[in-house]
Amino acid sequence: MTGYLLRRIIQSLFAVWGVITLVFLILQLSGDPALLLAPQGATAKDIALIRSQFGFDRPMIIQYADYLWKLIHFDLGTSFVQDLPVSEIIRARVPYTIYLASASLVVALCVGLPVGIITGVYRGKPIERMLMPIVLIGQSMPTFWTGILMIMLFAITLGVLPSSGAEGPSSVIMPAVSLGALSMATFARILRTSIIEELSKDYVRAAKAKGISFLKVLSRHVLRNASIPLITIGALELAMLLAGAVIVETVFAWPGLGQLAVQAIDARDFPVVQALVLLGSMVYIFLNFLADILYSVVDPRIKLEGRDS
């Protein structure tokens, strides 16, 4: 167990370093930020002064080494646009994104898991044919389109929900449903497939032959075994909720990290963009690591050392 954890930590550090390097190179090659930071009508001398002030005139390898040195000391730099520490800017936006992602996850789980269980257990029955369109709609509708339709219906036509902002609990309803719809469909589809597969195995037939009630077999064995692939998908979907927040937060003007990312990219605010990508990559890596740990909790037969060998 200790050896596995150590190997995964080393792999994670290399993955984060690779992401940092790739993003740094892409941003450096995307254009000169001094041209965007310079005021309208600035002369070549003014632009050169800005380039020197922010260190853009230094060799790229020196800028890269300086950036890594700051990261080692937990310094994310200073925003070119807002002239504030990047850590403070992100800290102010994180609660909104966590709130939205948590609400979206609740929507996805509360709808997706019951639908997946019902459609898996009652395969081919009328109730399955009633619920499967919900899954198909949630899987086929892009989040931005779902958001626009909800704004038109509930904000403009009915006037029962605010169309944008984060003013009170009612403001999160439409963004959470829009963001959680796709994950809901994914949870339902994966759980349905896993339950159908488990119900066809010999241990279920043996349990029925022994007179064990179907409800007990379902709750104690089938659902537990069916949850293993759901753990992998769940970790990825949770990360996707954070990534998908970029679109949803833009549509609903939600003041989270997604909206901040769009603004920073548009303004070529390199330190903010680099910090957001670093944060996103660390979330992905941590969630995948957590999923591997949960495998052995749900099914003790799975050994972490064996998975890694």
pLDDT in tens, 224-249: 888 777 877 777 777 777 777 788 88
What pLDDT, on a 0 to 100 scale, did the predictor assign at position 176? Answer: 92
Average pLDDT estimate for 167-193: 89
The pLDDT-based confidence of 292 (bands split at 50, 70, 90) is: confident
Q: Which residues of 99-131 are buried (b: 16+ CB within 10 A; e: fewer)?
A: bbbebbbebbbebbbebbbbbbbeeeeeebeeb
- Mean pLDDT, residues 145-151 taken together: 91
The answer, yes or no, to whether residue 100 has pLDDT greater than 80, is: yes
pTM of the model: 0.78
- CA dist 176 and 181 (Å) reads 8
| Nearest-angstrom CA–CA distance, 304 and 296 | 7
- What residue type is assigned to position 266 of the chain? D
Mean pLDDT across the stretch 192-221?
A: 84
The Cβ of residue 58 has, within 10 Å, a number of other Cβ atoms equal to 14
Mean pLDDT of the chain: 83
Please say if the pLDDT value at position 266 is more than 90. no
The yes-or-no verdict on residue 296 having pLDDT over 70 is no
Residues 104, 180: contact at Cβ < 8 Å? yes
Mean pLDDT of 92-109: 90
* pLDDT given at position 83: 83
What is the C-alpha separation between 239 and 290, in angstroms, rounded? 12
Mean pLDDT, range 95-108, rounded to an integer: 90
According to the model, what pLDDT value does residue 307 have? Answer: 47
Q: Where is pLDDT greater, at 23 or 4?
A: 23
pLDDT digits (tens, 9 = 90+) for 77-89: 888 888 899 999 9
Query: Mean pLDDT over residues 102-116, rounded?
Result: 91
How many angstroms separate the CA atoms of 146 and 178, rounded? 6
* pLDDT score for 262: 87
